[in-house]
Amino acid sequence: MLLNNEFYKKLKLGKFVKEKEDELFLALFILTLIVSIYFFTKTYSQALWFDEADYLNFGKYLAFGYPEWGLSPVRPPLFPLVSALFFKIGFGEIGLRIIMILSGLSNTVLIYLIGKELDNKRVGLIAAAIMALFWSHLFFTFRLLVDVPVLTLWLLSTYFFVKGYINEGKKKYIWMIAPALFIGFLIKYLNAFLIIIILVYLLMTERLKFLKDKDLWMSAGIGIIMSIPFFIFQKLYYGSFFAFLKASLVGRTTLGRTFTDFFVEYIKNLFPMVGGKYLWVGTLFSIIFIIGFIKILEIFLGLDLIFKNKDKKLTKELFLFLWLIGSLAFLAKLGYGHYIEERYAFGFFAAVFLIIAIGINKIYDSVKNYNKLAATALVILILVLGAYSNLAHAKLLIENKAESFIQVKQAGEFLQENLRKNEGYLSPATSAEIQYHSNRKNMGSNLQAALTDEKIKYVVISIFNQMPAGYLEFIQSNPDKFKPVETYFLDKENKQPAVIIFKIIRN
């Protein structure tokens, strides 16, 4: 061991740090924490994007009763509720950002634990190293969106299932499967797909025998009880117990593409992303993934043992295979618009990282037969290359985007300083962001009505969203009624206006 175990006992870590892989993971965790603190200093005051502001506006409304804002049925209620609590007790946005960092760190811990349970500690450690510095996971750790915390609940549910059910651990792990799944569902509805993966696994390995498991029924019962307030909320707020289902699945655009088209496109686009900044690193990881994937395909040579649930190693590989293929198929079924949002694929990426780790471990074992030092050096080289490429890409993206929509935030701050709480403004664009940063109500976009409503003091126009036809022309043709008072620019030379605030002049 790198350090005497007495050192860890003094830190009350002796229970967790028992082998060199545990020590290496502890070092990785500390490194990830340092990286997180660094990026936090760069992003803690950044402007919010639409989705972020949409969640947090409702949180502010719940906490303070103003400015008024609704919650779309496509938005699960837990994150806005948590944000309302944070606003109410004074932690606000900073507190939420700390929660995001803790979620990101938790994902590194959980994938290590899952890898250990599915294979061994080395696989868990390698998967954690890839997860810790994966550029997209890092980037969204510093955005007030639900994708990182929902991954935490996905991985936590998976850990409970693998540890408690597949590996026959303590009953408490099984009891917590459904509650963790449901909390994840309350953060993002798509988290519920993990239930299907688990059910397919159970049907393949046990047929219907799992229905006799009292601990699974206990877990399901706790989950059902927890879900009652959610369905009551759906009925009272939206008028339907299943408003969330229609909002999440109906009306999604495919742009004429088929399930097969999406499946192929996701494969072509997602795997290179693992490499970060440099395409060749993505190619390297894709090759290693294939090595790991071939390794778990041995499940097809032992299907009879899997169906009889007589080979624990094969059943673990089956679960990982179902996790990978199932989450990819689900993404393909949902489709996407004009571009792929890789943050929606975090659950899929977690399975990819574990399979890459299996591939790297297989390479290590093969080279170790000839030279153990060379095997260790090769693994370190692969991980360092991946970490450097991902960290470089994350740094560039995080720091560049930290200033995005800053003009909207500045406009919001101006409005907050110049409007009373019962006064408002008009904005046909970036309404969620401006309302969040101004803490004042957006009163729509009807310019004619604004001229007669004394509570409406300003009109805000922006280049970030398309405005209604004739909107800007009406303002420009009535200079006696709309006076520009503040302009926020994209460039330092102040030549490209991004947001303009007009004061409404009434005779």
Query: What confidence tens digit (pLDDT) does each residue in 133-190 have?
Result: 999 999 999 999 999 999 999 999 999 999 999 998 889 999 999 999 999 999 999 8
Query: Contact 149/79 with Cβ under 8 angstroms?
Result: yes
pLDDT band at 7 (very low <50, low <70, confident <90, very high): low
Q: Are residues 359 and 421 located together in one domain of the fold?
A: no
HSE (CB half, 13 Å, CA atoms) of 273? 23
Q: Are residues 27 and 40 located together in one domain of the fold?
A: yes
Q: Are residues 386 and 447 located together in one domain of the fold?
A: no
Structural domains of the chain, count: 2
pLDDT band at 273 (very low <50, low <70, confident <90, very high): very high
**Token digits of residue 389:** 């490429």
pLDDT of residue 339: 83
Taking 60 as the threshold, does the pLDDT of residue 203 lie above it? yes
Domain boundary among 377, 401, 425: 401
Q: Are residues 286 and 369 located together in one domain of the fold?
A: yes
At 484, phi and psi to the nearest 5?
-70, 130
pLDDT band at 367 (very low <50, low <70, confident <90, very high): very high
Q: Are residues 226 and 328 located together in one domain of the fold?
A: yes
Name the percent of the chain lying above pLDDT 90: 76
Q: Are residues 288 and 199 located together in one domain of the fold?
A: yes
Cα dihedral sign, 50-52-54-57: negative
What DSSP character marks residue 482?
A: E
User: At 75, which amino acid appears?
Assistant: R
Taking 90 as the threshold, does the pLDDT of residue 113 lie above it? yes
pLDDT of residue 5: 60
pLDDT of residue 128: 97
Strand 482-489: give its sheet, edge to edge.
Answer: 441-442, 424-426, 456-462, 497-504, 482-489
Q: What is the rounded distance in angstroms from the CA atom of residue 404 to the CA atom of residue 328?
A: 31
Taking 70 as the threshold, does the pLDDT of residue 229 lie above it? yes
User: 307-323 burial string, b = 16+ CB within 10 Å, else e?
Assistant: eebebeebbbbbbbbbb
pLDDT of residue 251: 57
Per the prediction, the chain carries an average pLDDT of 91
Taking 90 as the threshold, does the pLDDT of residue 385 lie above it? yes
Q: Are residues 395 and 413 located together in one domain of the fold?
A: no
75-89, 236-250, 292-306, 423-437, range with greatest mean pLDDT: 75-89
In a domain, 5, yes or no: no
pLDDT band at 248 (very low <50, low <70, confident <90, very high): confident
Classify residue 161 as exposed, middle or buried by CB count within 10 Å of its CB (0-12, 13-18, 19+). Answer: buried
pLDDT of residue 6: 63
User: At 93, which amino acid appears?
Assistant: E
Taking 80 as the threshold, does the pLDDT of residue 330 lie above it? yes
Name the percent of the chain lying above pLDDT 70: 95
In a domain, 60, yes or no: no
pLDDT band at 14 (very low <50, low <70, confident <90, very high): low
Query: Contact 427/443 with Cβ under 8 angstroms?
Result: no
H helix and E strand count, the chain: 23, 5
Query: Contact 65/238 with Cβ under 8 angstroms?
Result: no
Comparing 17 with 348, which gets the higher pLDDT?
348
pLDDT tens for each residue of 250-265: 656 677 788 899 999 9
- Domain span at residue 432? 406-504
Q: How far is CA 114 from the centre of its chain?
A: 19
pLDDT of residue 250: 65
Q: Are residues 410 and 394 located together in one domain of the fold?
A: no
User: At 452, which amino acid appears?
Assistant: T
In angstroms, what CA-CA distances link 413 with 118, 218, 225, 454?
Answer: 51, 51, 43, 21
Domain boundary among 370, 401, 432: 401
Max Cα separation, the chain? 89
Residue corresponding to tokens 């003094």 = 10
pLDDT band at 431 (very low <50, low <70, confident <90, very high): confident
Q: Are residues 260 and 281 located together in one domain of the fold?
A: yes
Region of poorest pLDDT, from 116-120, 199-203, 334-338: 334-338
Comparing 468 with 189, which gets the higher pLDDT?
189
pLDDT tens for each residue of 434-457: 999 999 999 887 888 888 888 999
Q: Are residues 36 and 118 located together in one domain of the fold?
A: yes
Q: Are residues 345 and 450 located together in one domain of the fold?
A: no
Q: Which of 211, 190, 189 is nearest to 199 (CA)?
A: 211
Region of poorest pLDDT, from 124-128, 252-256, 420-424: 252-256
**Token digits of residue 450:** 């604004």
In a domain, 77, yes or no: no
Q: Are residues 103 and 116 located together in one domain of the fold?
A: yes
Q: Which of 285, 336, 310 is nearest to 131 (CA)?
A: 285
What DSSP character marks residue 459?
A: E
In a domain, 252, yes or no: yes
In a domain, 78, yes or no: no
Query: Contact 281/393 with Cβ under 8 angstroms?
Result: no
pLDDT of residue 2: 52
Q: CB within 8 A of 466, min separation 6: which ones?
A: 429
Q: What is the CA radius of gyration of the chain?
A: 26
In a domain, 101, yes or no: yes
Region of poorest pLDDT, from 9-13, 60-64, 193-197: 9-13
In a domain, 365, yes or no: yes
Domain boundary among 340, 369, 401: 401
Q: CB within 8 A of 3, min separation 6: which ones?
A: 23
**Token digits of residue 187:** 């953060």
In a domain, 51, yes or no: no
pLDDT of residue 309: 79
